[in-house]
A = this chain, B = another copy of it.
Amino acid sequence: MGASKKDFFTDEQNEYAILFRALAHPARVAIVEYLMGVGSCICGDIVSELPLAQPTVSQHLKELKNAGLIRGNIDGNSICYCLEENSFEKLQSYISAISVKLQNKKQICC
């Protein structure tokens, strides 16, 4: 018991769950907001910005990267991170479709 039943859901449902899960922590929300403000930066900048140790930040960056929300380019001995536009557009159209449908329907709940 307790094992994930993700195999019983569609690939699309799992993909969106992975994207949302990547944003399901205030530290990762903060990283995204910071990257949105500065455009791009190295890991050390984020470590200075957040109240978290370097390995913890590194792990959060890894999760954002695995989910496809950020990209990291090697730049000398540091790594430059930035937001991945396509993934945010994908999320945007998904949420937007729900939002628009709800506005059009103006449904009453029971």
Contacts and interface: CB of A to CB of B under 8 A. Distances in A.
A80 B26 CA distance: 31
| Assembly stoichiometry (copies) | 2
A110 B75 contact: yes
Interface in A35-77: 36, 39-40, 50-52, 71, 73, 75
Q: Is the interface of A mostly helix, strand, loop or mixed?
A: helix
| Chain A: interface size category | 35 or more
A64 to B, nearest CB: 12
Most buried by B among A80, A82, A95, A103: A95
Contacts of A103: 85, 89
B32 A98 contact: yes
Given A5-B52, A17-B29, A24-B17, A40 B110 contact: yes
Interface in A1-46: 5-6, 8-10, 13-14, 16-17, 20-21, 23-30, 32-33, 36, 39-40
Contacts of A109: 40, 71, 73, 80-82
